[in-house]
Amino acid sequence: MQNLVDSNALFGSLADLVPLFDTILEAGSREYAYVNSKGNGVSIVEVSSNHEIRVTFLQVDGVTAKDWNGKTTKVAFSTAINSNKIVTL
């Protein structure tokens, strides 16, 4: 994201905010229980109509490296139906 902002003069005033993106997002949006704007990967969403919604993030490290190490990190959350609480699994 920093490269994009730095490469376009129209975004110049935002350059100092890019490193703070995750902090700003968490502070301004309580619904985000997890942020990692520098990560790459996929999300898997499982919905049980009578139990819960579960989201699993599979973060893939070093995807831009010439010699990719294949390492992944799993982060998972769930929310019970009719609840507004997010639980880290």
Is it the case that residue 3 has pLDDT exceeding 90?
no
Tokens of residue 83, six digits: 């609840």
Residue 53: strand, helix, or coil: strand
Question: What's residue 5's pLDDT?
Answer: 79
Mark whether 43 and 30 lie in a shared domain: no
> Do 63 and 80 belong to one domain?
yes
Query: What does the pLDDT look like over 19-76, one tens digit per residue?
Result: 898 999 989 988 787 888 888 899 999 999 889 999 999 999 888 788 888 889 999 9
Q: Tokens for 34, please give them.
A: 């997890």
Q: Give the number of domains in the chain.
A: 2
Q: Read off the pTM.
A: 0.68
Residue 58: CB atoms within 10 A of its CB come to 15
The answer to whether 72 touches 61, Cβ cutoff 8 Å, is: yes
Judge whether 76 and 89 are in contact, CB under 8 Å.
yes
- Enclosing domain of residue 29: 1-35
